A and B are shown apart, each in its own frame.
Chain A
């Protein structure tokens, strides 16, 4: 296992710690107490540095006191960071795909708590940094994919960890490992994810149709290879069924339910008879297409509603056409089926209105209603008969004499208002 100990690069920090421990002469360092430092341990090395570079901020320095200008020059070196914050934590940082960096601090209180718990065994424990590989798992402390220990010693506060795997999730704990193998953890680190050392293993292209104006499209991704994409481009014109992101085809067909019913009722030769029978009209003969009046067949009225030509006729004739067809007056312009339903009622009351306009002029003159020429009778009179629905009907008549010299204009209008008082 390639674990490289981190050299404590901040050379000025180590003497400071020494000085700090010296500032408490009555108390031995916690670390020194439990773990006798070997002669070759780095702090000894640092003590050599101390002689070379004495700490500038040291109060025992007599030279600085004698400087005539008492305000000291404040430099970065004059402000010292504390070596610890008296807290227990460990932080893990992913440096690159194969390297992790951990730094930690163990508060003296955490250590003494543990000593109260396990007693003298604590002196035989090793200081270890335990590193867990927690890739793709929900880590609960015991279910790591793999783990390893790094014996750091009591005084190390940070460590560079060489991790052999890229793209992994890692977590670390700092604690004491008893000779029995039991592990007493002081702190657990955050989870880090090391980046990939190679390009992504997902090599396939993912094509997504980006549309501006069709929010209804299903949100799925289309996988396509290059040659297929080219083929699609070539065949897009030939294949109208293909989804075309540029010109989404939105067909609008305006058909009502009645239209569909009418279409399908034609499928059966007998179905029309059956439908007519159900509507209470006995169909006469085998052929239902018998004419009632003026080329209007019964199935036209029953099944297809009012055609355009009929509608115009209704407007011109008013209510009288339905009177001819069904022998009863009805003001409704809808299909005749509703007339049949009304017959079943015991009591009904209906009103229809028609408008008759009449006038006279010279027999050889011309009369216009708005832009339509009105045919005059031989004696110069004329009569117009309109359906009179609710609303206002403007009537603008003008008469022009035969020699086009005189022109008379009469404008009038008719308004109908109907109020039905509900019982």
Chain B
């Protein structure tokens, strides 16, 4: 099959969040299974080539005009994608599948389907409602919701990254049940193999070797709930006075979260590291005692898979994806998105480190069983062929 994947980010252009990892790994895995995969994505820097073949996958980096209106700029991007797609098709032959990721590329899918009908798959990684922290805002948010609806309406098949996201889509955009399928995110867990000295990693961030350490990894936005974890810190410090909380990630809530920590008088126990990626983040995962995912709305939660790959238990809120993939008390704890409940979860893990390590190992087993990209790609291929 010749497959075209549209995404506004990828590991080899602009790396923002979970979509980049999803698209890149999925393209690679499809390629490994013998399909011809073209990824249409943004041009990150002008020294990047417009076309490149990486690990057998064809990457088309498309330049486009900027616009003060974000939605209009995204539309420009989609026009660039459509143009590049038509050119590629004229040169290489018909595509069997067009696969768009998130609302940002929905217009590319819609316009291509209008011009040259192909089998269109639309993967939703989250909804605008969830990104706003379970709110229906007006303005641009309303326009984005409309684009999401249009993309889901025009696509032949909609893929959600978790069952809870599927339910959310069916509720907000009135999609029929048989149109939406579920394909979880995966992870390349071999990236987390190996051992690092936790004390050495902790020393880099002024954390004692024996201090209980909690890691928050994710965008610092309202959806991900870093403020919930900050509010939970005093409750935990009451019993574990030397506990440390490391926040990795950036976003509009970073400064308010830091201020909140200072206001509560717990800033000594927090480390706000900003955006980290690659080996630094991997080392932090390996050095921590548990990973906290206090999201208000989490479509899937790749953080959980990353924590499990590093053999760490998670404390995740029971909203969305984590409620499906976490087995409570076996490889993580499911809590409510409130400070008290998060504090309970972390305190429970700290009260029995032996049990926590056992839970982390179980998480690794789960990741190795189900969440490898080859397994996920089998799932996606079956959706393609349905």
Contact = CB atoms under 8 A, between A and B. Distances in A.
B362 interface: yes
A241 B343 contact: yes
**Most-contacted residue by chain B among A216, A222, A242 (CB, 10 A):** A242
A216 B354 CA distance: 8
A50 to B, nearest CB: 70
B352 interface: yes
Contacts of B184: 267-268
Interface string A277-302: 00000000000000000000000000
Interface string A218-262: 111111100010011000000111110000111101010100110
A202 B238 CA distance: 21
Contact of A223 (B241, B347, B355): B241
B346 A264 contact: no
A271 interface: yes
Given A251-B352, A270-B382, A241 B330 contact: no
A239 B324 CA distance: 26
A222 B239 CA distance: 7
B345 A241 contact: yes
A240 B333 CA distance: 14
Interface string B320-339: 00001101011100000000
A274 interface: yes
Interface stretch (B20-28, B48-56, B192-200, B363-371): B363-371
Given A265-B370, A274-B375, A255 B324 contact: no
Interface in B220-256: 238-242
A311 interface: no
Nearest to B343: A241
A142 B117 CA distance: 90
Nearest to A231: B238
A263 interface: yes
B153 interface: no
Contacts of B379: 268, 270-271, 274
Contacts of A241: 239, 343-348, 351
A113 to B, nearest CB: 53
Contacts of A242: 239, 347, 351
Contacts of B382: 270
Contacts of B370: 264-265, 267-268, 271
B362 A260 contact: yes
B212 interface: yes
Contacts of A271: 370, 375, 379
Nearest to B350: A243
A248 B366 CA distance: 28
B46 to A, nearest CB: 42
A267 B325 contact: yes
Contacts of B204: none
B324 A267 contact: yes
Interface size class of chain A, counting residues whose CB lies under 8 Å from the partner chain:
20 to 34
Interface in B164-187: 182, 184
B92 interface: no
B329 A251 contact: yes
B378 interface: yes
Nearest to A251: B355
Nearest to A207: B241
A232 B239 contact: yes
Nearest to B210: A218
B353 interface: yes
A274 to B, nearest CB: 5
Nearest to B351: A243
A249 B369 contact: no
A239 B340 CA distance: 9
Nearest to A267: B370
Contacts, number: 94
Contacts of A260: 327, 330-331, 362, 365-366, 369
Interface centre among B331, B365, B382 (most CB of A within 10 A): B365
Contacts of B325: 267
A218 B212 CA distance: 9
A248 B353 CA distance: 12
Contact of B351 (A232, A249, A253): A249
A270 B210 CA distance: 43
A262 to B, nearest CB: 9
A133 B134 CA distance: 67
Contacts of A261: 365-366, 369
A253 B332 CA distance: 13
Contacts of A216: 353-354
A138 to B, nearest CB: 25
Contacts of A269: 182
Nearest to A255: B330
Interface string B149-172: 000000000000000000000000
Contacts of A221: 241
Contact of B344 (A222, A240, A257, A265): A240
Interface in A183-229: 216, 218-224, 228
Nearest to A216: B354
Nearest to B243: A220
Contacts of A250: 352, 355
A253 B352 CA distance: 13
A232 B343 contact: no
A301 to B, nearest CB: 18
Contacts of A219: 210
A267 B211 CA distance: 35
Nearest to A218: B210
B224 to A, nearest CB: 22
Tell which of B351, B353, B378, B379 has the most Cβ of chain A within 10 Å: B351
Contacts of A232: 238-239
A228 B238 contact: yes
A224 B234 CA distance: 12
B369 A220 contact: no
A243 B236 CA distance: 10
Contacts of A264: 327, 366, 369-370
Contacts of A248: 351-352
A270 B331 CA distance: 23
Contacts of B366: 260-261, 263-264
B294 to A, nearest CB: 15
A314 to B, nearest CB: 27
Nearest to B242: A220
Nearest to A214: B352
Name the residue among B238, B327, B330, B347 with the largest chain A CB count within 10 angstroms.
B238
Interface of B: 182, 184, 210-212, 238-242, 324-325, 327, 329-331, 343-348, 350-355, 362, 365-366, 369-370, 375, 378-379, 382
15 contacts: A219-B210, A220-B241, A228-B238, A239-B344, A241-B347, A242-B347, A243-B350, A250-B352, A251-B355, A260-B365, A263-B327, A264-B327, A264-B369, A268-B370, A274-B379
Given A228-B238, A255-B330, A274-B379, 11 more contacts: A218-B210, A218-B212, A220-B211, A231-B238, A241-B346, A242-B351, A260-B330, A260-B369, A261-B365, A263-B366, A265-B369
- Closest 6 CB pairs between A and B? A241-B347, A241-B344, A241-B348, A261-B369, A264-B370, A264-B366
